[in-house]
Amino acid sequence: MLDAPLSTYSSRMNTLVILNARILTLAGRNEPRRGSELADLGVIERGWIRIRDGYIKTVRSGQPSDTDTQGDTVIDARGRLVMPAFIDCHTHACWAGERYGEFEARLAGADYLKILEQGGGIMATVRAVRQASRSELTDALLTRLDRMNSLGTTVAEVKSGYGLTTDDELKMLDAIRAADSCTDMMIQPTFLGAHAVDRDNPDFIEKTINETLPAAAESYPGIACDAYCEQGAWSLDQTRRLFEAAQGHGLPLRVHADQFHSLGATRMAIEMGARSVDHLEATTPVELEMLARSDTFGVALPVSGFQIDDRYAPARALVDAGGLLAIATNYNPGSAPSPSMPFTIALAARKLRLTAAEAITACTWNAACVLGFQHVVGSLEPGKRADLQLLDCTDARELAYEIALPGPLLTFTNGLVTQQRGDYRAGLTIAPEFVPSDHGSNRAT
């Protein structure tokens, strides 16, 4: 008889078996998926998975033998979906303060870029972050990571960009690293010192390129360098200078481009071999075709369109042209205040015109490829990290059909049950020798 929630047990201390599951493996490829490949979820109609020591050991169709489950923790999925956990490849989840007043101003008709030009928006969060300590930023980030994890996300990219001085950008990156050490989730930091332009610092551009960027590259070798290329933020020429300097430090490139205006950043990013171009709401057909022919990902962020102006990236056209696509929440305090990948998938279906299968691939396997994690996560295959989720449905299309789903029944992060929705105990047995642990939440102790 089970006398404690499943989340109070550590599956890394014994083998865990999930049986009678409809499994979306996303297996079968070692490279990003394009075009029609996004619709292939690698479905096992009825199968089982064995997890041990934080890794997937077995994924098979049919039923395990008695020997396969002897002495194990067994979860009967009862035909429900088991799929890879979500990978959120674009977030700004490390911040301080709030932007409620700005939200009300925009409801009254204020323009997003005009608020930024007047020192609000991103700069309001910058002022709050500068006043916050590293530990305060870490604690706030851990709270948001818990929210993401409860909705099925186990891997997240988190950007700096709300410091805009060398010390404050490094403070943010240190806070992100500290949060990574306190959770079983995988967190990838990104340097976004070019998130906005600090009008109070006349030497801001030069200091960012010549001082802050080198400091970030020294403290975090190989970290991706991002920039927000937009009217009122970084110009195309300024972004190019930053990226040339970043390449000199051996850093990969990502860019916020074409959110409101097409300034040429997409073309420049492709020519410079950037890892991704994110936003794309204002991308021209010519640049979209260039992107489709390249090895640079387009990362669509539909929550931003929902929150700001109801404009969305031409993701359907990018997929049909054979381009690389990922989707992400863009979780931040201003333009995308949502940690929910299920909501992002629902928007992707309605606003980006993606099928459920395409959207799932875009925020699991392809998102893993954006972050360079595809050899570790993104599919359910032997040898991969046990990052997966048990959903309360049997058809993958429900993820796109229902709006703002509450999250999976169980989230497994690195082999641990880190989130449990409700009192999910039906069909579950615990071997007598199974040892309880104190991993009751997403945070390490």
Backbone angles phi, psi at 406, to 5 degrees: -80, -5
| CATH architecture assignment, domain 87-371 | Alpha-Beta Barrel (3.20)
Q: Which residue has the tokens 């910058």?
A: 126
Within 10 Å of residue 313's Cβ, how many Cβ atoms? Answer: 29
What is the rounded average pLDDT of the residues 295-306? Answer: 98
**How confident is the model over 365-389, as a mean pLDDT?**
98
Q: Looking at residue 428, what is its pLDDT?
A: 54
pLDDT: is 89 or 428 the higher one?
89
Q: Which residue has the higher pLDDT, 117 or 34?
A: 34
DSSP for residue 303: H
Q: Tell me the mean pLDDT in the region 308-326.
A: 97
pLDDT tens digits along 346-375: 999 999 999 999 999 999 999 999 999 999
Contact indicator for 357, 83 with CB cutoff of 8 Å: no
More confident residue, 124 or 82: 82
CATH class of 6-84+379-429: mainly beta
Residue 309 burial (CB count, 10 A): 15
pLDDT of residue 69: 81
Per-residue confidence at 101, pLDDT binned at 50, 70, 90? Answer: confident
The pLDDT of residue 435 is 32
| Segment (H or E) for 54 | none
Read off the pLDDT band of 106 (50, 70, 90): confident
Q: Is the pLDDT of residue 327 over 90?
A: yes
**pLDDT for 87:** 98
| Residue 372 backbone dihedrals phi, psi, to 5 degrees | 75, 25
pLDDT confidence of residue 424: 57
User: What whole-number distance in Å separates Cα of residue 295 and Cα of residue 290?
Assistant: 10
Size of the chain, expressed as the number of residues it contains: 445
For residue 425, the model assigns a pLDDT of 55
* Residue 107: band (very low, low, confident or very high) from pLDDT cuts 50, 70, 90: confident
Distances in whole angstroms, Cα of residue 293 to Cα of each of 31, 73, 287, 296:
15, 47, 10, 9
Assigned token pair, 54: 């934080």
Q: How many CA atoms lie within 13 A of 239 on its CB side?
A: 28
**Mean pLDDT of the region 141-147:** 98
In angstroms, rounded to a whole number, what is the distance separating the alpha carbons of residues 338 and 432? 41
Contact between residue 168 and residue 130 where contact means Cβ atoms under 8 Å apart: yes
Q: Please identify which residue in the block is written with the tokens 């997240």.
A: 156
pLDDT digits (tens, 9 = 90+) for 236-291: 999 999 999 999 999 999 999 999 999 999 999 999 999 999 999 999 999 999 99
Residue 432 has pLDDT above 60, yes or no: no
**pLDDT > 80? residue 426:** no
Q: Provide φ and ψ at 320, rounded to 5°.
A: -65, -25
**pLDDT band at 434, cuts 50/70/90?**
very low
pLDDT in the model for residue 1: 23
Task: Compute the Cα dihedral for 301, 307, 308, 311 and give only its sign.
Answer: positive
Percentage of the residues of the chain whose pLDDT score is greater than 90: 81
Contact present, 194 and 234 (Cβ < 8 Å): yes
**Per-domain residue ranges for the chain?**
6-84+379-429, 87-371
Which parts of 233-372 are beta strand (E)? 254-257, 276-279, 297-300, 325-327
CB 397 within 8 A of CB 389: no
- pLDDT, tens only, 8-60: 445 455 789 999 999 999 998 889 999 999 999 999 999 999 999 999 999 99
146-194 pLDDT, tens digit per residue, is 999 999 999 999 999 999 999 999 999 999 999 999 999 999 999 999 9
Residue 110 confidence class, pLDDT cut points 50, 70, 90:
confident
What lies within 8 Å, CB to CB, of 118 at 6+ separation is none
Q: What is the rounded distance in angstroms from the CA atom of residue 323 to the CA atom of residue 315? A: 9
| pLDDT > 70: percent of the chain | 91
pLDDT reported for residue 404: 84
